[in-house]
Amino acid sequence: MLVAVRNQAQLEELLYGEVGIVPALDRGAAVILTSTVGIRAVEVVAARLSDDGIGLADAPVSGGPVRAGKGDLLVTVGAYPDVYEHCRPVLEAMASNLVWVGEAPGKGQCMKTVNQLLCGVHIAAAAEALALAGELGLDQEKALDALMSGAAASFMLGDRGPRAIQAYAGEEAEVKSRLDIFVKDMGIVTSAAKSVGMPVPVAAAAEQLYLQGLANGQAAMDDSSVIRLVTPKKG
What are the domain boundaries of the chain? 2-105, 110-230
Distance (Å, whole) CA 89 – CA 100: 13
- Which member of 107, 112, 233, 234 is catalytic? 112
Question: What distance, in Å, lies between the first and last C-alpha atoms of the chain?
Answer: 43
Query: Helices 179-195 and 107-135: crossing angle, nearest 10°?
Result: 120
**17 vs 208: CA distance, rounded Å:** 33
Kindly report the length of the chain. 235
CATH superfamily of 2-105: NAD(P)-binding Rossmann-like Domain (3.40.50.720)
Would you say the CATH fold of 110-230 matches that of 2-105? no
pTM: predicted TM-score of the whole model, two decimal places = 0.92
How many angstroms separate the Cα of 173 from the Cα of each of 19, 63, 96, 162, 169?
A: 37, 19, 28, 9, 10
CA 35 to chain centre: 8
CATH number of the 110-230 domain = 1.10.1040.10
Q: What pLDDT sits at residue 88?
A: 97
Backbone dihedral angles phi then psi of residue 55, each to the nearest 5 degrees: -85, 160
In whole angstroms, what is the distance from residue 8 CA to residue 89 CA? 26
pLDDT recorded at residue 133: 98
Chunked into runs of 10 residues, the chain (235 residues) has average pLDDT values of 93 95 95 96 96 97 79 92 97 93 97 97 98 97 98 96 97 94 97 98 98 97 96 67
Q: Is residue 112 flagged as an active site residue?
A: yes
pLDDT for position 234: 57
Report the b/e string of 161-180 with b at 16+ CB within 10 A.
Answer: bebbbbbbeeeebeeebbbb
Closest CA to 14 of 38, 39, 40, 35: 35
Q: Specify the DSSP element, H or E, that contains 3.
A: strand 2-3
In contact, 108 and 55? CB cutoff 8 Å: no
